[in-house]
């Protein structure tokens, strides 16, 4: 982006504290945007500020960021919501569940238990619209990506990649280990907001059957 963007890096690792700082900076700028700031793109540990140099200078953006750090009260952080996500694990919905279990010398049911145990933080939304990057999975089921990515992963698929877990919001290519599927619609372009989850939210997974998933869909 050349002289039209500024990357603010707040750390060199994935951690809840660093991600919280990213969210605070994002909120501070977004809640009172200056003319010329076109977009804000948060990630695990950084914030990309895209701007129009005809309306705002790089020095002005830096001054705004410093002001936010010195006056944290202006960052009115939204209360994170805890969202419970139903998941059909294994079978055709989770074709890699057995492989993840074998990789860790576990049973599929143990993998499910380890996956549904924690409450996950939404570190960022990206890759595709509405796709949540969640972390961190327990060491017991942290699994490398597939050696050969799939050309199409159905939307709603729940996957694991190293210490991350995530949900495919739309049909797309992908190399994550797919262990299940959720009937929850994560992205609606006409929704307000369009993404079902936002950075900073918390997610809890729970297991359901195919029949319960079908009933869940008919009720919504």
Would you say the C-alpha torsion 139, 105, 143, 197 has a positive or negative sign? negative
For the chain, the average pLDDT equals 91
Q: What pLDDT sits at residue 1?
A: 52
Q: Lowest-pLDDT range, 28-32, 91-95, 119-123?
A: 28-32
Shared domain check, 34 and 99? no
Q: Which of 74, 98, 132 is the last residue of a domain?
A: 74
3-state secondary structure the chain: CHHHEEEEECCCCCCHHHHHHHHHHHHHHHCCCCCCEEEEEECCCEEEEEECCCCCCHHHHHHHHHHHHHCHHHCCCCCCCEEEEEEEECCCCCCCHHHHHHHCCCCHHHHHHHHHCCCEEEEEECCCCCCEEEECCCHHHCECCCCCCEEEECCCEEEEEECEEEECCCCEEECCEEEEECCCCCECCCCCCCECCCCCCEEEEEECCHHHHHHHHHCC
The reported pLDDT for the residue numbered 120 is: 97
Instruction: Please indicate, yes or no, whether the overall pTM of this predicted structure exceeds 0.75.
Output: yes
What is the per-residue pLDDT for 210? Answer: 94
User: Using 50, 70 and 90 to split pLDDT, how confident is the model at 74?
Assistant: low
* Better-scored residue on pLDDT, 70 or 62: 62
Question: Are 130 and 28 found together in one domain?
Answer: no
- What pLDDT does residue 186 have? 92
Give the end of a domain, one of 39, 74, 109.
Answer: 74
- What pLDDT, on a 0 to 100 scale, did the predictor assign at position 88? 98
Instruction: Supply the range of the domain harboring residue 106.
Output: 82-218
Looking at the fold, whether 146 and 206 belong to one and the same domain comes out as: yes
Of residues 146 and 191, more confidently modeled? 146
pLDDT exceeds cutoff 70 at 2: no
What CATH number does residue 9 fall under? 3.30.1360.40
Last residue of a domain, one of 74, 95, 112: 74
Residues 35-56, mean pLDDT to the nearest whole number: 91
Q: Which of 19-23, 89-93, 178-182 has the lowest mean pLDDT?
A: 19-23
165 CB-contact burial (10 Å; exposed 0-12 / middle 13-18 / buried 19+)? buried
Domain co-membership, 11 together with 86? no
Co-location of 98 and 139 in the same domain? yes
39 and 135 in one domain?
no
Strands 202-207 and 82-89: parallel
205 and 129, same domain (yes or no): yes
Position 144 scores a pLDDT of 97
Asked whether residue 120 falls in the same domain as residue 44, the answer is: no
Give pLDDT, residue 188: 86
Instruction: Give the per-residue pLDDT at 152.
Output: 96
Residues 88 and 196 in one domain: yes
Contacts of 185 by beta carbon, 8 Å cutoff, 6+ apart: 196
Same domain, 202 and 156: yes
pLDDT tens by residue, 119-143: 999 999 988 889 999 999 999 999 9
- Residue 134 sits in a domain of what CATH number? 2.40.100.10
Average pLDDT over residues 185-203: 88
- Asked if 45 and 14 touch (Cβ cutoff 8 Å), the reply is yes
| Total number of domains in the chain | 2
**Same domain flag for 63 and 87:** no
Angle of helix 58-70 relative to helix 16-30, nearest 10 degrees, comes to 120
Residues 208, 149 within the same domain: yes
156's torsion region: left (phi>0), alpha (psi -120 to 50) or beta?
left
């Amino acid at each position: 982006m050349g002289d039209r963007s500024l990357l603010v890096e707040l750390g060199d690792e994935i951690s809840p504290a660093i991600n919280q700082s990213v969210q605070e900076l994002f909120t501070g700028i977004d809640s009172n945007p200056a003319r010329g700031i076109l977009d804000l793109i948060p990630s695990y540990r950084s914030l990309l500020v895209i701007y129009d140099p005809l309306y705002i200078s790089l020095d002005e953006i830096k001054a705004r960021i410093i002001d936010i750090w010195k006056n944290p009260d202006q960052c009115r952080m939204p209360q994170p919501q805890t969202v419970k996500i139903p998941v059909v694990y294994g079978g055709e919905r989770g074709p890699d569940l057995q492989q993840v279990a074998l990789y860790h010398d576990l049973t599929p049911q143990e993998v499910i238990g380890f996956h549904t145990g924690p409450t996950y933080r939404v570190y960022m939304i990206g890759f595709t619209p509405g796709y949540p990057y969640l972390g961190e999975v327990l060491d017991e089921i942290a699994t490398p990506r597939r050696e050969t990515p799939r050309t199409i992963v159905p939307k709603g698929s729940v996957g694991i990649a190293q210490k991350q877990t995530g949900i495919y919001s739309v049909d797309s290519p992908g190399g994550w280990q797919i262990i299940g599927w959720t009937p929850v619609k994560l992205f609606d372009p006409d929704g307000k907001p369009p993404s079902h989850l936002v950075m900073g939210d918390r997610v809890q997974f729970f297991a359901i059957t195919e029949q319960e998933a079908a009933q869940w869909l008919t009720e919504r």
